[in-house]
Amino acid sequence: MSATKTCNIVACIVAVGESGASAAAGKVKRAVEVIDGAWAGECCAVGAAAEAVAAACAAAADAGAAGALVVAMADASETSVQSVLQILVHVKRTEPGWLRVVWSEEGSESAEIRLALCRGGAAMVTASATALDEALTLAGGDAAARSEDQGVACPFCGVNGFDELGLWAHVPLFHMVERNEVSGSRCPLCPRKRLDDPFPVHLFTKHYPPHLPPHEENAQPGLLYAFALVVVVRPVDGAILVVQEFDDQGFWLPGGRVDPGEGLAAAAVRETREEAGIDVRLTGILRMEFFPRPRYVRQRIVFLAEVEDPNQRPKTVPDFQSAGAAWATLDELRQVSLRGSEPLVWATYLSRGGRASPLSLLHEAGGGLPPGVTNDDIASYKTRR
**Least spacing, CB of residue 63 vs Zn ion, in Å:** 21
- CB nearer to Zn ion: give 110 or 160: 160
**Least spacing, CB of residue 218 vs Zn ion, in Å:** 14
The residue from 190, 336, 345, 359 that contacts Zn ion (CB under 5 A) is 190
The residue from 31, 99, 187, 229 that contacts Zn ion (CB under 5 A) is 187
The footprint of Zn ion on residues 76-105 (CB under 5 A) is none
**Least spacing, CB of residue 77 vs Zn ion, in Å:** 31
Residue type, 155: P
Residue 125 contacts Zn ion per CB under 5 A: no
The residue from 113, 154, 301, 326 that contacts Zn ion (CB under 5 A) is 154
- CB nearer to Zn ion: give 49 or 195: 195
**Pairing outcome for strands 240-244 and 251-252:** antiparallel
Segment near Zn ion (CB under 5 A), from 156-164, 248-256, 325-333, 343-351?
A: 156-164
**Least spacing, CB of residue 141 vs Zn ion, in Å:** 14
Alpha helices in 95-163 (DSSP H): 105-109, 111-119, 129-144
Alpha helices in the chain (DSSP H): 21-35, 46-63, 78-94, 105-109, 111-119, 129-144, 164-175, 199-206, 264-276, 330-335, 342-351
The count of residues interacting with Zn ion (CB under 5 A) is 7
The residue from 25, 71, 136, 189 that contacts Zn ion (CB under 5 A) is 189
**Least spacing, CB of residue 181 vs Zn ion, in Å:** 12
- CB nearer to Zn ion: give 152 or 266: 152
CA dist 2 and 11 (Å) reads: 8
**Least spacing, CB of residue 152 vs Zn ion, in Å:** 10
CA dist 91 and 83 (Å) reads: 12
**Least spacing, CB of residue 204 vs Zn ion, in Å:** 10
Report whether 160 contacts 151 (CB < 8 A): yes
In sign, the C-alpha dihedral spanning 216, 217, 220, 225 is: positive
Residue type, 146: R
Report whether 264 contacts 225 (CB < 8 A): no
- CB nearer to Zn ion: give 194 or 382: 194
**Least spacing, CB of residue 55 vs Zn ion, in Å:** 23
**Pairing outcome for strands 66-73 and 251-252:** unpaired
Site map for Zn ion, 157-176, x if CB under 5 A? x----------------x--
- CB nearer to Zn ion: give 182 or 350: 182
- CB nearer to Zn ion: give 39 or 156: 156
Report whether 15 contacts 101 (CB < 8 A): no
Site map for Zn ion, 258-297, x if CB under 5 A? ----------------------------------------
**Least spacing, CB of residue 65 vs Zn ion, in Å:** 17
Report whether 59 contacts 5 (CB < 8 A): yes
Angle between helices 129-144 and 21-35 (to 10 degrees): 50
Report whether 257 contacts 270 (CB < 8 A): no
| SS3 assignment, position 72 | strand
- ∠ Cα 97 102 107 (to 5°): 140
| SS3 assignment, position 66 | strand
- CB nearer to Zn ion: give 193 or 355: 193
- CB nearer to Zn ion: give 121 or 254: 121
Interacting residues toward Zn ion by CB under 5 A: 154, 156-157, 174, 187, 189-190
